[in-house]
Each structure stands twice: as structure tokens, then as C-alpha cells.
Amino acid sequence: MNIRDLINRYKADERIVALAKALNMGKGTKVQLKGLVGSSDATIAVASYFLLHKPILFILPDREEASYFLSDLESIIDTEVLLFPSSFRKAFEFTQVDTANVLARAEVLNELNHHSEFGKIVVSYPEALAEKVIDRSVLEKNTLEIALNAKLGIDFINEFLIDYDFNRTDFVYEPGQFSIRGGIVDIFSFSHDLPYRIEFFGDIVESIRTFEIESQLSVEDVKTLTIIPNVQSKYLTEHNISLLDYIEKDTQVWFKDVEFTLDIVKAGYKKATELWKALPAKEKQENQDWIDPKFAFTDEKMMADIFQDFVLVEFGKQFFYKTEQVFQFETKPQPSFNKDFSLLIHNLKENEKAGIHNFIFSSSPKQTERLYAILDDIDKTAKFTPINIPLREGFLDPQQHVAFYTDHQIFDRFYKYKLKRGYQRSQAITLKELRDLKPGDFVTHIDHGIGKYAGLEKVEVNGKTQEMIRLVYADNDLLYVNINSLNRIAKYSGKDGTPPKMNKLGTEAWDKLKKTTKKKS
């Protein structure tokens, strides 16, 4: 049995069928789900989603809870779920922008602009929801789509990107950068977590692919790419709208705590307004990206008004609205075993006697094998069905006759959510170091050993001009390395203050040293 079988079981559950019927009643409907513990909330949400296929926006109390909840959804649904974060390092402090979060917001807006057969699922939290977004039509107008075989001049792309605040660099390492080398254009858009490499033949787009920042190796070929501007810059004006105005009108909005959300937004709006008033006029002029909070954030009154336009689901422990659409779920938390496996076995057997099927969710098959081995040593008759996906927290649902247990709770281990990789700041470090290399700095090439960096040089190869990295070796031997092969070069790291001995090209000394080092390690 797998998770999909379990979700199909829930789809047929009379509670879920009735819930789906209520969710179909149209805007202004308020629904409350009571008695959900552990990961039962995500399980119920996915089952209802598979019945209706309508878009859902989940609002959790904070980023951490949002991430754990999103991780559950991704595990159960096995498809991409979008995280919509706040742009700032600290809530409502608009002077401290986080590039990775801006990227994620732009990516979500771009995804929401592309219709699909099934509704999109977005997870967010109060601080992110309070921040206004670029108007949909403005975003569409300022988005460039590039397709294979399109006729598109490199000069046009250069002008477009500069006009939309992209920075031209030698090579890209973070969103908002681009580079042009001969017939190759690298672009790190704000709509994807990897940069794109576009190869031209004259003015025709010959190939488009994503590539890894550090290794420069291709990841996948694509037919089209969307270049989206930094949605946090000059496009944010008095015409900004709430994310709730941006999403489809048939979106269900699920809240863990409506009142808490409104309180956070109220306090945050006040904080941003006070910060704006305290900023000197000169600083505001120097930072054109900073705009009056009344244009940048939605206050709690406006937000509460917009809530009325949607089907709204409350599923936490605190309930804000009055409604007759209340669904009771009598789920119970996973017992705490404190690594007492005799207690676990007793519990599994008691469940079995009561006709409850035991499922243990594990992040790896190894953990399942370990569990089987432990139970075999104590009592071979204890039964459970392994499900190889992680969940944040187990629960027991007597009405469905199932117990969902997690291995990390059984082994009393800390559980950390895993989200899709996304743009990582750490990816930029190696490349930034290479970009900051000065002529004379020592570098190591994986095939040729230690040499000195001697700058970038344009070299003609097969009739095409390409930018190459120039390295100098012993006896002034020169080596030109294609900039696409950066993964083969690293900045030399040796004993402080001791210059290394440079290798000579074409000798076996470096290969011997590599083999010796491998044997030692």
C-alpha cells in the first residue's frame, strides 16, 4: 500500500465528501474543521483537493509552520507546492530585502499566471500575505518569454535586461544578473531557481537550458523560458494589489488561525508605518525601492474585507467566524513511546485488536528496515505497513480505522522539513570567489594542477569569439579554459603565506600527486 491508496480511502470518507460539497457552495462560505491533530490536517486537505481540483491558499501562523505544512503536502501529493514568503529578512522591515525570498515570490506569481488543469496550491504566512504584489497585467506586460527558434537579437535582450534592473556581470551567481559571451547569454531570472543558458545562431535561439551555478553543468533542456523582473523594485507602485486580489476567485483560503493572522498584520502595518516616518527624506530619495507602507502592505481591516470574497476554511484550534458548516474529526495524537519498543509493540497490537490498521511513515527505507529488525528481536507478531514518505507528526483516526505513525517520533528524533531546493545563497560563494580573483592569484585545475589566474581573454574558437579564463603554469606555459568549465577550477587553498609550487603543463607530476592524495584519504 502507498500514500495514494490512503488518500483514495479518505476521498471516499463521508466526512470528506460532505466537506467537498460545502467547499463548492461559493464565495462567502465559512467552513470549520475541528479535532485535527498532527498531519491529519494536510491529509484531509489533500483528499478534498483531489475531489475538487480547485486552487488552495494555505495561511499558517509563521514561516516555520508553513514550511512543515508544505513539506507534508509535497510528501502526500507528490507534486510541486508553492511557498509564498515575505520579501524581507525581518518581518515588515522593508529596508532589508532578501533576494532569495524575492525570487520565490516572483516565481509564485509567474506560476499563478500560467493556468493548469489542476488548481495551484500555495502555502504562506501572515507577514507574506500582508505584502502587496505587482498587478497581474503589469507583470504580464513586463515579462519576456523566449522560445526555441525565436528570432531575437542579443542586443535587444541586453537592452531589455538593463532596462528591467538586471546587472550585467562576467558570469551569473544570483537572481537579477546576466552575462553575454559571444553567442551565449546566461540569465538568472527572478522566476526560476536555476539560471538559464541561451545559445544563439545569429539572431535565432538555438538552445535553452538550465545549468548549475557552481559546476556550470547543464541540468535540463527547455523549450521556453520566462524572464521576470525583480517584482520588488520599481514595479511596486500605488497600483499594487493584495495577493488575495491576484489569485483566482475560486481559490479556497485555508487558515490555521484567522485572528492571529489579523493581529500580526495589524502590528506589522503599524511597525512599517512608524519606520517610514522615522526614515530621513534623504535616505528615502537614495532608495527608490522603498515605498510608503500604505502602498506596500495591506492593513488588517482591508484584509478582513477581502476574506469575504472567498470560501474560507478554518482548521486549527482557534476559530474566528460563526458558521453552521462545522466538521468534527476525532483524530488523536500519536502516543509518545520514548524509544520504548515494548510499549510500541503493545500499542500496535491493541490497535490491531480494535480493527485499526497501523502505518509507519519513514523518510528512508533504511529506517523501516531498522524498525523491522528491532520488532523482530522483541515480538515478530507485531504488524505495521511501511510508507516511505516523511510526515511531520503522526495521528490516529478511529473513524477511518487507521493509525499514522512517524519513525522520527518513535525514535524520539528531531524532524526537519525538506523543501524543494530553490535558490541557495551558498551556491553563489564559489563563483563569487572566482569572479573576485585577481591576476596572480593561485588556482587549482582538476586536470592540470596549480597555476596562476591571469584574467579573462576573448579568444576565437571555430569562428566564434568566446571569453576564456587565462591560466599561467610553470615555465610561463599558458592554458585557456572555457568559462563554461568553471567547475574544473577552484581557488588554491594551502598553508597561510606559503606560495605553492606551480605545476608544469603536460607532465605526470599532478596525476601522481592526485593518486597519492586519494590513497591517503
Mean pLDDT by runs of 10 across the 521 residues of the chain is 90 95 92 96 96 95 94 88 90 82 81 82 96 84 86 88 83 86 87 86 92 84 83 67 92 96 96 92 82 90 95 94 94 91 93 95 89 88 91 95 94 77 43 73 79 82 72 87 68 67 72 52 38
Give the burial string for 473-509 (b: 16+ CB within 10 Å, else e): bbeeeebebebbbbbbbeebeeeeeeeeebbebeeee
Report pLDDT for 424: 44
Q: How far apart are CA 468 and CA 489, in angstroms?
A: 13
d(CA 180, CA 202): 14
> What are the backbone angles phi and psi of residue 12, rounded to the nearest 5°?
-90, -5
**pLDDT at site 426:** 39
Element (H, E) at 86: none
Task: Say which DSSP state 171 is in.
Answer: S
Distance, in Å, from the CA atom of 349 to the CA atom of 230, rounded to the nearest integer, reads 57
Burial 38-65 (b: 16+ CB within 10 A, else e): bbbbbbbbbbbbbbbebbbbbbbbebeb
Please tell me the distance from the alpha carbon of residue 209 to that of residue 218, in angstroms, as a whole number.
7
Distance CA 61, CA 257 (A): 7
CA distance 243 to 343: 48
Q: Which CATH number fits domain 3-134+242-328: 3.20.20.150, 3.30.1370.60, 3.40.50.720, 3.40.50.300?
A: 3.40.50.300
The domain spans of the chain are: 3-134+242-328, 144-227, 333-410, 437-520
Packing angle, helices 258-278 and 300-307, rounded to 10: 150
In CATH, the architecture of 144-227 is 2-Layer Sandwich (3.30)
C-beta of residue 190 within 8 angstroms of C-beta of residue 232: no
Q: In what order do the strands lie in the sheet with 489-491?
A: 477-482, 464-473, 449-461, 442-445, 489-491
Q: Which residues pair with 397 in a beta bridge?
A: 402
Question: In this predicted structure, what is the pLDDT of residue 268?
Answer: 95
**What is the CATH code of the structural domain delimited by 437-520?**
2.40.10.170
pLDDT value of position 514: 54
Grid cell 509563521 in the structure block, residue: 62
Question: In this structure, what are the phi and psi dihedrals at residue 95, rounded to the nearest 5 degrees?
Answer: -85, -10
For residue 436, the SS3 value is coil
